[in-house]
């Protein structure tokens, strides 16, 4: 509802502006020429062209941000997977270390060179 009210107010402002600026002007585009164009159309057209350019730049920035976020998310996912893999490897090495310690102790106990 707020947008509708804002649109009506904006439309009334443009209508008032148009009634005050009806002077015809000539517009030149390179080799082309438009004659007898009301001044308010030139001004409102410039406004909308600026809004369109701003919207295009905004969309480009949003897409760029989303791509950057996606890349960061992928990097975080890879880092988490690497951390999980490394934790698993640490557990495996700790288990192997314990097994080797037990094997070394049992070997030392069976050794004939052990002191009586």
CB under 8 Å to 36, separation ≥6 — which residues? Answer: 24, 26
pLDDT tens-digit map of 21-73: 788 888 888 888 989 988 888 888 888 899 999 999 999 999 999 999 999 99
Which stretches within the chain are classed as H helix? 2-20, 39-110
pTM score of the predicted model: 0.58
Tell me which residue of 21, 56, 12 sits closest to 42, measured CA to CA: 21
CA distance 47 to 17: 13
Residue 67's beta-bridge partner residues?
none
């Amino acid at each position: 509802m707020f947008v509708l009210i804002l649109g009506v107010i904006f439309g009334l402002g443009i209508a008032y502006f148009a009634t005050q600026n009806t002077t015809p002007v000539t517009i030149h585009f390179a080799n082309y020429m438009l004659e007898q164009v009301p001044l308010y159309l030139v001004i409102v057209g410039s406004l909308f062209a600026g809004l369109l350019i701003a919207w295009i730049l905004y969309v480009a920035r949003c897409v760029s941000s989303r791509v950057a976020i996606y890349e960061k998310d992928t990097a975080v996912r890879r880092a988490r997977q690497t951390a999980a893999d490394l934790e698993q490897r640490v557990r495996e090495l700790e288990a192997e270390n314990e097994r080797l310690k037990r094997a070394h102790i049992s070997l030392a106990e069976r050794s004939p060179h052990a002191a009586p």
